[in-house]
Chain A
Amino acid sequence: MRWKHHEPFFWSLFGAGGVISAFCVPVMVLLTGFLLPLHLLPEAAYNYESLHALAQNLWVKGAILVIVALSLWHCAHRIFHGLHDVGVSTGPLARTLTYGLAGLSSLALLILLLTL
């Protein structure tokens, strides 16, 4: 019964990720999916130096980490519980693949931001 009470903790991270991605993801996709690659903003906005400088800011690093890590956890939780709906019976493997991938990529992002 070691795992009896993990769900409230997982769910609270899922809820936090749901809130933060609901507010932030649409504009982030608009920015990095369309405005930056299609050069719809002034040149200074999408060139390497200015974005690299922007990413050096500690507040920006923190914001990126919180938004990405919580959103990934939110998605992992939804996908894990959604597996049942598409007829996949879940177990430790599915748990590792969903939450594990979210955790590992968040860790990779943390290391990346620290060394940036």
Chain B
Amino acid sequence: MRQSPYHRPRDPFWYMRRSVYRRYMVREATSVFIGLWMLNLILGILQLSRGEAAWTAWLTWQQHPLMLTFSGLTLIMAMVHTTTWFAIAPKAMPKFIAGKAVVHQQVVIGHWLVFGLVSLFLLVAVYWGA
């Protein structure tokens, strides 16, 4: 039998020590909420495929305070994800595009403009598409 490898003792809440660590953990935690929410959405599409009664039951379940709390937390966490993702986007880009220096602030503003357009388009599509 192989001896289990040595693990240096570590504070399990190491990320509470500095605000930059805490913000990092909040950013990573957004994935837990978005992932669970995606599974809930797949459940909704399953119910939609099973007929009207099943769909209405799923939609009614979304009105439950527990689900509304979950949706609210997911909305906040999704906004955290969007904000942090847009903030690092210019840093992941080339420094120069077509010989011109990339201005970080412009890239971030551009991302938010597209975000606004996408959100507006989806809202309008569901509002008038119905």
Chain B at the A interface: SS class: helix
Give the residues in chain A near B25, CB-CB below 8 Å: 85
- Give per-residue flags for B9-34: 1 if the beta carbon is below 8 A from chain A beta carbons, else 0: 01010010000000001001111101
- Give per-residue flags for A11-48: 1 if the beta carbon is below 8 A from chain B beta carbons, else 0: 00000001101111111111111111110011011111
> Which residues of chain A in 48-87 are interfacial with respect to chain B, using CB atoms and an 8 Å cutoff?
48, 50-52, 54-55, 64, 68, 71-72, 74-79, 82, 85-87
Query: Cβ of A33 and Cβ of B74 under 8 Å apart?
Result: yes
Closest-by-CB residue of B relative to A81 is B28
Which among B39, B67, B68 has the greatest number of chain A C-beta atoms within 10 A? B39
Query: Cβ of A25 and Cβ of B59 under 8 Å apart?
Result: no
B-side interface size class: 35 or more
Q: How many angstroms between the C-alpha atoms of A82 and B21 in the bound complex? A: 13
- Give per-residue flags for B30-71: 1 if the beta carbon is below 8 A from chain A beta carbons, else 0: 111011011101101110110110011001101100011011
Give the residues in chain A near B130, CB-CB below 8 Å: 41-42, 44-47, 50-51, 54
Out of A27, A54, A105, A109, name the residue touching B123 (CB < 8 Å).
A27
Q: How many angstroms between the C-alpha atoms of A42 and B123 in the bound complex? A: 12
Query: Cβ of A26 and Cβ of B119 under 8 Å apart?
Result: yes
Query: Cβ of A48 and Cβ of B55 under 8 Å apart?
Result: yes
Query: Cβ of B62 and Cβ of A29 under 8 Å apart?
Result: no
Give the residues in chain A near B129, CB-CB below 8 Å: 45, 50, 54
Q: How many angstroms between the C-alpha atoms of A55 and B130 in the bound complex? A: 11
Residues of B within 8 A of A (CB): 7, 10, 12, 15, 25, 28-32, 34-35, 37-39, 41-42, 44-46, 48-49, 51-52, 55-56, 59-60, 62-63, 67-68, 70-72, 74-75, 78-79, 81-82, 85-86, 111, 114-115, 118-119, 122-123, 126-127, 129-130
